[in-house]
Chains A and B, each alone.
Chain A
């Protein structure tokens, strides 16, 4: 609890330092801070609009995939292989969802925590925690970052991102087995 508290205080401190420090520094340096701010902020709107088609493409496809129950079917198929390797059936759906949906994976992690007999301090709970913290919503990152500048050909970026997710998954399992297996 103390660690978490210290982190929260540090984060808010950095945030406030930036919010106060940047305008103050600019003002001291003779920048017309208000004008500059508004000019920069204008871009925020355009960027958000520009990424919409990219986000719709991936989230509609993922929505259909999840809605159809394909995620559960996939978990049933790979489950018998991954279970003995240290990836229990409770965590597997989370691992599948993670590259597509951060909030989806977090929701599944919450379910593991709330399941009687599992909970946050069980093997599944700890493994899920590390997995959530060490992998990223690759498809979302790609759509937003590339979408913002109109890039449609990602080249090797997708493969590199998915390799990172797979590595995060394997490393999480290996570490969890070593520590709590």
Chain B
């Protein structure tokens, strides 16, 4: 991440200098910074709503039940997470929300999962194997039906807005397999 951070700024400065437009480098950075705050603050409402509902589910014992049901799928992927741990149900909810296209629910559940996984982290500040794999899975777009793209295609008068559904799913599955494989391979080398 350190390299990415420096590289983006250096490339920006070089491009700005070459184009003789250094002003736009600074302007872009400031715009990005205020966008970041607006984005984070915009999350508060939905985040609070879903985390509130999740707390009810937790007290009602629903979360525990989910964790038990999800055990067979999660055990091979996340061997470091103990059986019945609340992280498992949070991860399951996040993945389910992603697959079903409930985008604004996926992020709160994902953050909850990261918090639960953090309770198992012996080195705070550094991602555990489970956290790295969970984040990697989330970077493969898991959505079963790409609703936003289909809607955009329909509004652009496509003759077949949903025709990209199966091709998208095939591509997603490729990305997901590679995300899991790379995370699993590198977790032993990259400490």
Chain A residues in contact with chain B, CB under 8 A?
1, 3-4, 7-8, 11, 14-15, 18-19, 22-23, 25-26, 29, 31-33, 36-45, 47-49, 51-52, 55-70, 73-74, 106, 109-110, 113-114, 119-121, 125-126, 129-136, 138-139, 141-142, 144-146, 148-165, 167-168, 170-172, 175-176, 179
Contact = CB atoms under 8 A, between A and B. Distances in A.
Contacts of B165: 3
B32 to A, nearest CB: 2
Interface stretch (B22-30, B67-75, B76-84): B22-30
A159 B165 CA distance: 27
A64 B127 contact: no
A109 B161 CA distance: 14
Tell which of A29, A61, A135, A164 has the most Cβ of chain B within 10 Å.
A164
A51 B39 CA distance: 10
A33 B125 CA distance: 34
Contacts of B49: 41, 44
A136 B139 contact: yes
A105 B149 CA distance: 11
B20 to A, nearest CB: 11
Contact of A157 (B15, B32, B127, B157): B127
A26 B57 CA distance: 7
The secondary structure that dominates the A interface is helix
Given A38-B52, A136-B141, A157-B136, A25 B62 contact: yes
- 10 pairs of A and B residues whose beta carbons are closest in the complex: A67-B28, A63-B32, A40-B55, A44-B48, A133-B146, A161-B139, A41-B52, A156-B186, A134-B171, A70-B15
Contact of A70 (B11, B36, B110, B149): B11
A33 B177 CA distance: 40
B122 interface: no
A135 B159 CA distance: 24
Given A136-B140, A153-B127, A158-B4, A15 B56 contact: no
B74 to A, nearest CB: 17
A134 B175 contact: yes
B37 to A, nearest CB: 6
Contacts of B102: 11, 14-15
A152 B121 CA distance: 13
B58 to A, nearest CB: 8
A63 B175 contact: no
